[in-house]
Amino acid sequence: MKKVILILLGFIPLPIGFLMNSWLMENQDSILPFLYIGILFLAFWALLGFITCKSEKTPYHSALFIHTPAIIAFLLLSYQDRVLEQIWPNMIGIATQNFYLPLINLSSIIIGGGLYVEMWLASGIAFLLMYGSYYLGCYLNMILSKQ
């Protein structure tokens, strides 16, 4: 049961990305503070790691289960971008793009922020940021539980 909960928690970026996308589509004259959204999302993901890291035998297993949706989204997005060279015009194509939307600005800044950033690379950096912040939360939990 804990594994299922971790996998379901791993889908949290998807509704956040859809909300950001719908807000952008309705308010095209304004700009969201993408950098702050990315930083707040990473802080939330670290807090989630702090809370859930002891749900499984090891923090590695917790991280594996909670990032299963992120891995699937990254693989589907990479396939669309690198192999098909187009995004699927259906909900799967939209969902894979929206999954990493909270972190795309932050990962684009890390890449170099130029005029053109490939989506699969920005999503890969976003995945690494998610994984690292989750593990940071697990690490802080281990340190504080020893005291």
What digits encode the pLDDT tens for the residues 25-57? 888 777 778 889 999 999 999 999 999 988 888
Mean pLDDT of 90-101: 84
Q: Which of 1-5, 48-52, 89-93, 102-106 has the lowest mean pLDDT?
A: 89-93
Q: Which band of pLDDT confidence, cut at 50, 70 and 90, is reported for residue 59? A: confident
**Does 127 score more than 70 pLDDT?**
yes
Best CA proximity match to 99, nearest among 24, 16, 14, 35:
14
Residues in the chain: 147
Say if CB 45 and CB 137 are below 8 A apart. Answer: yes
Q: Single out the residue of 54, 62, 55, 69 nearest to residue 146, CA to CA.
A: 54
In this predicted model, which residue has the larger pLDDT, 48 or 120?
Answer: 48
Nearest-angstrom CA–CA distance, 110 and 23: 25
pLDDT of the residue at 46: 96
Nearby residues of 37 by Cβ (< 8 Å), 6 or more positions away: 20, 102, 105
Q: What is the mean pLDDT of residues 59-71?
A: 91
**Does the pLDDT at position 72 exceed 80?**
yes
pTM for the complete prediction? Answer: 0.88
